[in-house]
Structure 1
Amino acid sequence: MIQFNLQRFIKLARWTLTVDKKYHIKSFFQNLVIFTLVFVFFTSITFTVSQQAANYLPCSITAIVAFAVTFVLGSSFMFYSMSGKHDMQRLLMLPASNLEKYLMRYASWIILLPIQLAAFFAADLIQYVFGLAVGHEQVKLVTSAVIEFCQSDMPLSYRMNFVWLFVWLHSLYAVGATFFRFRKNNWIATSLVVIVVGMLLSAIAGHWQNVNMFWWNNHDYFNQLFLILVVVNFRLSYRFFCRAQVIGKFVNA
C-alpha cells in the first residue's frame, strides 16, 4: 500500500537539504565558473584580441544547451549528492515510506535548476562589467541574447513536441538512476542504452516514413503517446527504487 504523510515528507525534505548543502554549493560555483569563462571569452576576449564585434550567439546557445542537458539528465542526479554507503544506509533506515523517499530524492535534482539559473545571471553580470572595463562598445547582457534566440518562428505545436521529447528522455534517465543501483555514473550507462535503442528505432523507422510523419504532424496523438511513455517510465523507476530498498534492508540487516 502506497503511503504518504505530508509532515513526514517535510521532515525528510529538511534532512535532504542538510545532506545536499555542500553539493548544491559546489554545483553553483561549477556552473558560475563555466558560464563566466564562456561568456567572457566570446563577448570580451574575442573583441579585445581581434577587434571584432562580440558574438553573443555562442553564449546563448551554451546557456540553452546547459539548461536542456540539466533537465534531461537531471533525474539521473537523484543520488549524486549522497556521499558513499553511509548516506545510502541512512536513507534506507529513515522513518518514511518508499514513495516519500523516492519523491524527495527525485525532487532533490530540481533544486539544480534555480542554482544553475542563479549562476547564469551572476556570470552574465560579470561578463557585462568586464566588457565595460575593457572598453567593449557593444556590451549587453547575454540574457537578452537568449530571449532573442528563443523568439523563433517555429509553431507552438512543434515546440511542444520537442518539450515532450525532452520530458520522455528525462523519464528514461529516471529509470536508469534506480535500475543501475544508484551508481554515480548511471547516466553514462543510460545514455549508451538510449543511443543503442535510438539507433534501432531509427533503422526501423526508416521503412515507415509515412507513419513517422503522421505522428509528428498529429500533435495530439504525439503528446498522448509520450505522456503514456513518461508515466510508464516513472512507474518503472519507482518500482526499481522499491526493489533496491528491499535488497538494501536485507543486506544491512
Structure 2
Amino acid sequence: MDDRPSARTAGRFAASTWAALDRPPGGALGSFDPGTLEGLPEPAVRLLTVAVPSGAELHRVVRLSMRGEISLGGRWMPFRATQVLRASVGLVWAPVVGGRLVRFVGADALGPDGARIEFRLHGRIPVVRGSGPDIARSAHGRLAAETVAWLPTALTPQAGARWAPRDRHRATVTLPGPGGPTDVEVVVDDDGALVELGLMRWNDAAHPPQLVPFGGSVDARFEAPGAVMVAGSGTVGWEWGTRGEADGRFFRYEITEVAFGASPAG
C-alpha cells in the first residue's frame, strides 16, 4: 500500500508528521484475548467480538485509502485521500479535492510536534493555513472519533480503552490521547456492527471556538486484513444528534483500502 504523501503535495509538516506516525511501535501489546471483555457493557462486547478476531494482533497504526465528497462553502466536491492514524498520538489526512478546473491539495495533521491544516489551490496558491491550540484541540477529538471508526484494536481493554454502559445499544468508550482522555459514545446494533458514534468536539471555526456535538453514521463495514472489521462508508458532521444535524453534515466517505501496522518503508 503506497500511501505516504510527499512534502510537495501535503506540505512539509504533514509529510514529517506522517513519517513520525508511520513507524513500528516501541513495544508490543500482544494479541487480542476475548477473555478481557468480561464485565464490559453489552454493546462493547458485541462490537469487539465481531470487529476483532480472537488472537488478532493489537495494532496501534492503521493506514487507509478513501474516496468521497466534502462540502466546501455549501458545495459538495469529490475527493480521494490517504491517511495514517496512530492510536493516542496523531493522524494525517492527505486528500486531493476537486478535479481539473478546481483542485485543492494539502493535509490535516496532528502529531508529536502539534497540529496544522494547510491546503493550496492547484498545489500552488495557499487558501487554508492554520495551527495553534484551537486547531490541536479540535484534532484531538477527530483522532478519538476516527480511532473508533478505523482502529478497533485500540478499543480493547488491553490497549487501555475504558468502557461505560448507556443502554442495550449504546456505550461510552474513553480513549487516551495527546490532549487527555476523550469520551466517544458508540451505537452498536444487535449484530455487533458500529452504526453511529458521537462526541463533544472542539470546533475551532465556531465564534467563539467551543465544544460542539460531532459525530457520524456508519452505513457499511469494510473487512480489513486479518478479518478485522472497520467502518466502510458513512456520513460525518457537526451538530450531530441535534436539530442542526442536517445542515452540519460535511463529509461522506467510502474506504477503499486498509493496512495495519507501519509501512515497510516506515
Report the TM-score range of the alignment, normalised by the length of the smaller protein.
Answer: under 0.3
TM-score normalised by L of structure 1:
0.27
Q: Which has the higher helix share?
A: 1
TM-score by length of 2: 0.26
- Structure with greater strand share of residues: 2
Q: Which has the higher contact order (CA 8 A, sep 6+)?
A: 1
Over alpha carbons, which structure has the higher Rg?
Answer: 1
